[in-house]
């Protein structure tokens, strides 16, 4: 495993982040525990989850699975950087979602209980809250940091200007502010190159791409379909929409001599702004196969061909559309 700092912090995290969204709904608890054990033995020290994962409102199913794994002891908690999220609806009452100070405090306490730990290493806002002022959000986060319940604060699904606003407000309060941004980013979806990546770089945020394989479409979807593998409805829509590009992509991967999944991850890892793509294995084989991307080096010719197949927005704003 390779390690890097999380943004401008001194915290060292693995270059691949273990995503746990499938734990519970797709992967049972026994297999989830086995995957976490294997991931940790392979050098993964960065584990990502969210209070809404498991998709049973208010249950925190995935956090509970992780909590029972941590409770097995053996130094598990001390060896990982544990990230979870707050924002999503956790109940039917009006204050059981969002980023009010009221909900942040309660959601944090409930995540700590489910995860069976006394602190969260990276507490991420799962989405921007358009109805709560930053002064209130930062007051709540500062209190959690003072109490030792949260170490670092991150964002997810923020726009570039929201990252700037958040960190300028934090600076006025002499607070560290955001240290990471978790965004959708992959060869097929490169929109954050316009403003999110420049903003993250300017404010020293680590970038944690989610859906690095575009829901599996960049993992060899055409070849798998030929073998009778069925994809979910979203993946089927992307496959139909981008079939010509995917055919070119999978052909290029064959020329390179690597699997489509390894190429997609290696392309992200080649970006100096990227800290750690999130891989969300459903099986042990998927976990182990992800490691190959760490050894793949895409030369200039391969990068240009990937850009031709999957063109981005044209660079960073405003140069992408003005001068």
Q: Token pair of 164, please?
A: 């700037």
Closest by CA to 9, choosing from 178, 187, 123, 232, is 178
Rounded CA separation 133/54 (Å): 29
Inter-residue contact 47 to 17 (CB < 8 Å): yes
β-strand pairing of 12-14 with 3-5:
antiparallel
Note if 53 is an active site residue.
yes
Rounded-to-integer distance, Cα 27 and Cα 61, Å? 12
CA 46 – CA 146 distance, rounded (Å): 23
Task: Please tell me which residue in 3, 53, 249, 321 is annotated as part of the active site.
Answer: 53
DSSP letter, residue 205: P
CA 286 to chain centroid: 17
In the chain, which residue ranges form alpha helices assigned H by DSSP? 29-41, 61-70, 76-79, 101-115, 134-146, 160-172, 196-202, 221-226, 233-241, 243-256, 260-269, 284-290, 300-309
Only one residue has tokens 């990227």, namely: 274
Under DSSP, is residue 274 helix (H, G, I), strand (E, B) or coil?
A: strand
Beta 120-125 vs 150-156: how paired, if at all?
Answer: parallel
**Strand duo 17-19 + 46-48: pairing:** parallel
Q: Which two tokens stand for residue 152?
A: 């670092």
Active site amino acids? 53
């Amino acid at each position: 495993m390779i390690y890097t700092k999380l943004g401008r912090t001194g915290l060292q995290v693995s270059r691949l982040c273990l995503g746990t969204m499938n734990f519970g709904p797709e992967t049972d608890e026994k297999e989830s525990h086995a995957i976490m054990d294997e991931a940790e033995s392979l050098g993964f020290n960065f584990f990502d989850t969210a209070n809404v994962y498991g998709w049973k409102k208010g249950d925190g199913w995935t956090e509970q699975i992780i909590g029972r794994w941590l409770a097995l002891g053996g130094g598990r908690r001390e060896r990982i950087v544990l990230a979870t999220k707050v924002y999503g609806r956790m109940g039917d009452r009006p204050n059981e979602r969002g980023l009010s100070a009221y909900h942040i405090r309660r959601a944090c306490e409930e995540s700590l209980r489910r995860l069976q730990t006394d602190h969260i290493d990276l507490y991420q806002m799962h989405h921007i809250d358009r109805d709560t002022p930053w002064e209130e959000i930062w007051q709540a986060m500062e209190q959690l940091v003072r109490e030792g319940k949260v170490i670092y604060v991150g964002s997810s699904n923020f726009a570039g200007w929201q990252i700037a606003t958040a960190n300028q407000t934090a600076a006025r309060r002499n607070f560290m502010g955001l240290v990471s941004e978790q965004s959708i980013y992959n060869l097929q979806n490169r929109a954050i190159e316009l403003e999110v990546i420049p903003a993250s770089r300017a404010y020293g945020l680590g970038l944690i791409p989610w859906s690095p394989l575009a829901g599996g479409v960049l993992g060899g979807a055409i070849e798998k379909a030929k073998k009778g593998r069925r994809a979910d409805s979203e993946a089927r829509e992307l496959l139909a929409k981008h079939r010509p590009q995917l055919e070119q992509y999978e052909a290029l991967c064959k020329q390179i001599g690597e699997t489509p999944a390894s190429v997609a991850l290696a392309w992200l890892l080649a970006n100096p702004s990227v800290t750690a793509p999130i891989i969300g294995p459903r099986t042990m084989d998927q976990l182990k196969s992800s490691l190959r991307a760490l050894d793949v080096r895409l030369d200039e010719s391969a990068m240009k061909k990937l850009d031709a197949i999957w063109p981005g927005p044209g660079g960073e704003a405003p140069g992408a559309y003005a001068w």
